Chains A and B, each alone.
Chain A
């Protein structure tokens, strides 16, 4: 599953540690989510989407093939 966490984070000039602190997870978890190694739970996915003022379906692409834009 693809996601736009890294893209949104870099657009806002935020560090992984800042996102981690805001979401209440570890920096390693943010790294794992960005790289696609870890799929966040639904509550965390909502927190991530809300943090970036996006909807969950804009933030995460279940197919991984569709255009996210």
Chain B
């Protein structure tokens, strides 16, 4: 999706985009918190600059910030994202149960987050091939053994 952007600029661009969206939300809200957009712009701008600088370094952080993660970093990133997803789902579940218990009106965003997390989880299973019902070799009538890439 972001392949048209130079790898080192992808993470900084993400910070700029998310910062701009949040700043726009503050501006749209108006009232007394409009200055939040300035703080957001400065904060996310600083993060974008830091990501660009870090992206030039020969380190794990640099490789992640510079979008040049190899297989080890990709694995670590996937595990970290999985942990973040679990934490978000647990937090949403706690929020939902607390909202229901106190008869609050704010229960539904937690339910929505939980539903999205569940849908994403199920989508992940289907997307990555789990649940495919490929027949066994003998059932499919295959007589030749599978070729190993090593042979």
Contacts and interface: CB of A to CB of B under 8 A. Distances in A.
Contact of A56 (B70, B71, B150): B150
A41 interface: yes
A40 B68 CA distance: 17
Contacts of A17: 58
A27 B72 contact: no
B59 A40 contact: no
A8 interface: no
A14 B63 CA distance: 22
Looking at A28, A38, A56, which has the most chain B CB atoms within 10 Å of its CB? A28
A62 interface: no
B71 A28 contact: no
A40 B71 contact: yes
Contacts, number: 31
A44 interface: yes
Contacts of B60: 26, 28
A25 B73 CA distance: 10
Chain B contact residues (Cβ within 8 angstroms of A): what range?
A: 10 to 19
Contact of B73 (A24, A29, A44, A56): A29
A42 B71 CA distance: 11
A17 B59 CA distance: 12
A41 B72 CA distance: 9
Contact of B59 (A28, A38, A44): A28
A25 B72 contact: yes
27 contacts: A17-B58, A24-B70, A25-B71, A25-B72, A26-B60, A26-B63, A26-B68, A26-B70, A26-B72, A26-B73, A27-B58, A28-B59, A28-B60, A28-B63, A28-B72, A29-B70, A29-B71, A29-B72, A29-B73, A32-B72, A38-B72, A40-B71, A40-B72, A42-B149, A44-B71, A46-B149, A56-B150
